[in-house]
């Protein structure tokens, strides 16, 4: 008697995989951004749970596990530069005044990165279909919660963390990062009206949170998106050069402020004046930096002035020196080049999201912390959803055909 292979529609393992993927999507892209608006601890537990469920689901699925994608990405020059930056940061534990705390931070960051890389490879290698719509739905829900919390808590006390951020600030920054992959999911399926409504809701929520950094980052992302729609190649090159140059040359700005103004500078320039004084007095430390975790803890413990900048630019130079800054600048440039080479429908959203994230780091939030790395990891997973989940509905097929026809002209 001839035995037939079991249908994938009657495969218990495939059914379990689909259920686990659905649960993982709900945790990552709905529960996490919504919970982040009311709890600063939620993202630390929800993202690992969602990533682990994604990996478990991949082990049960008949589709590719994503190992080929990981192998290809980890052997690129860009990945090599990133590994060198991580290695230099880990090596700086040798000379940091806080080796135990810095070591814990490295371990947490590496565990988060490994989970995100594995889960992103899985998501980028499979067709997610309608599940991808959970992402814009979660962003919309989180935007509503941010507005509600902003209105209800306007007259109440706000808990500020040592890095200068509040729970609401972090939630709003999360929306600034997640809105771009969410817009990609909608727009590339032909749901342009829904994409416009989501963009408006996100802007309203960031304004309601009264976070100038978020507003500016959202605007910078919008400008990058518009420019990339017109000239993708030129935009990626211009943004890559601009941000790389900013990372490398940024100490010249506080030095100029200190040389011109001395101790008599406007109050808004006081953080730059402090940075200029620290940089001028560092001597040989400019080459190696003071070691990982010294900037934030130095401010918290009183070793550095209270108004020392929280910008990642300062933290990068102060902790990792010119070696770390050079690696970070090169890595940033290479990332822009890689994102600009993405498929034409998704490249503008990738460039916009990366620009928005870099703008947040430049403008002074304490983004060298685990909460920021976790938010970035969530955004990476969200963008991974768009890799094969671009064309899952009939309107999106029409959009693809029009794009392909335009490319052929």
Q: pLDDT of 284-330, one tens digit each?
A: 888 998 988 888 888 878 888 888 888 889 989 999 999 999 999 99
Over 90: is that where the pLDDT of 153 sits? Answer: no
Instruction: With respect to residue 37, please indicate whether it lies within any of the assigned structural domains.
Output: yes
Instruction: With respect to residue 6, please indicate whether it lies within any of the assigned structural domains.
Output: no
Separation CA 195–CA 137 (nearest Å): 11
What is the residue range of 78's domain?
Answer: 12-151+161-386+395-408
Over 80: is that where the pLDDT of 63 sits? Answer: no
Containing 282, the helix (H) or strand (E) segment is helix 270-282
Non-local (6+) Cβ contacts of 367 within 8 A are 312, 360, 361
3-state secondary structure 3-42: CCCCCHHHCHHHHHHHHHHHHHHHHHHHHHHHHCCCCCCH
Instruction: With respect to residue 2, please indicate whether it lies within any of the assigned structural domains.
Output: no
Q: Which of 49-53, 73-77, 204-208, 284-288 has the lowest mean pLDDT?
A: 73-77
pLDDT of res. 161:
55
According to DSSP, residue 205 is labeled H
Instruction: With respect to residue 46, please indicate whether it lies within any of the assigned structural domains.
Output: yes
Instruction: With respect to residue 5, please indicate whether it lies within any of the assigned structural domains.
Output: no
Instruction: With respect to residue 51, please indicate whether it lies within any of the assigned structural domains.
Output: yes
Number of domains composing the chain: 1
Planar angle of CA 46, 50, 54, nearest 5 degrees: 170
Is 81 in contact with 334 (CB distance < 8 Å)?
yes
Separation CA 328–CA 122 (nearest Å): 27
Over 80: is that where the pLDDT of 210 sits? Answer: yes
Instruction: With respect to residue 213, please indicate whether it lies within any of the assigned structural domains.
Output: yes
Percent of the chain at pLDDT > 70 equals 83
Separation CA 27–CA 317 (nearest Å): 36
Instruction: With respect to residue 7, please indicate whether it lies within any of the assigned structural domains.
Output: no
- CA dihedral (214, 384, 376, 36) in degrees, to 10, reads 70
Separation CA 145–CA 201 (nearest Å): 11
Strand partners, 166: 160
Give the global pTM.
0.85
């Amino acid at each position: 008697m001839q035995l037939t292979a079991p249908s994938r529609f009657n495969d218990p393992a495939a059914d379990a995989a689909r259920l686990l993927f659905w649960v993982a999507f709900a945790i990552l892209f709905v529960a996490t951004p919504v919970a982040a608006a009311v709890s600063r601890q939620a993202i630390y537990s929800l993202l690992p749970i969602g990533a682990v469920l994604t990996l478990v689901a991949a082990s049960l699925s008949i589709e590719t596990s994503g190992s080929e994608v990981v192998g290809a990405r980890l052997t690129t020059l860009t990945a090599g530069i990133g590994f060198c930056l991580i290695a230099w940061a880990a090596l700086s534990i040798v000379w940091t005044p806080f080796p135990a705390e810095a070591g814990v931070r490295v371990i947490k960051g590496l565990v988060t990165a490994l989970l995100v890389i594995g889960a992103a490879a899985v998501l980028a290698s499979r067709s997610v279909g309608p599940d991808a719509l959970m992402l814009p739905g979660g962003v919309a829900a989180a935007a509503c919660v941010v507005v509600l919390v902003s209105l209800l808590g306007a007259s109440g006390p706000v808990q500020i963390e040592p890095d200068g951020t509040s729970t609401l600030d972090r939630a709003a920054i999360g929306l600034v990062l997640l809105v771009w992959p969410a817009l990609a999911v909608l727009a590339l399926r032909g749901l342009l009206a829904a994409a416009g409504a989501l963009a408006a809701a996100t802007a309203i929520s960031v304004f309601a949170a009264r976070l100038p950094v978020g507003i500016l980052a959202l605007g910078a992302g919008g400008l990058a998106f518009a420019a990339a729609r017109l000239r993708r190649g030129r935009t990626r090159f211009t943004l890559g050069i601009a941000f790389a140059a900013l990372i490398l040359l940024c100490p010249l700005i506080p030095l100029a402020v200190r040389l011109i103004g001395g101790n008599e500078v406007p109050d808004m320039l006081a953080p730059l004046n402090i940075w200029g004084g620290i940089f001028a007095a560092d001597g040989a430390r400019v080459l190696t930096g003071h070691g990982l975790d010294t900037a934030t803890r130095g401010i918290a413990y009183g070793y550095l002035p209270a108004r020392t900048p929280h910008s990642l630019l300062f933290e990068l130079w102060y902790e990792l020196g010119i070696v770390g800054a050079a690696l970070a600048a090169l890595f940033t440039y290479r990332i822009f080049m890689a994102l600009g080479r993405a498929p034409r429908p998704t490249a503008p959203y990738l460039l916009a999201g990366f620009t928005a994230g870099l703008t947040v780091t430049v403008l002074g939030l304490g983004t060298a912390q685990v909460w920021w790395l976790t938010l970035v990891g969530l955004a990476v997973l969200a963008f991974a959803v768009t890799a094969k989940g671009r064309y899952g509905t009939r309107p999106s097929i029409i959009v693809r055909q029009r794009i392909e026809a335009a490319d052929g002209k």
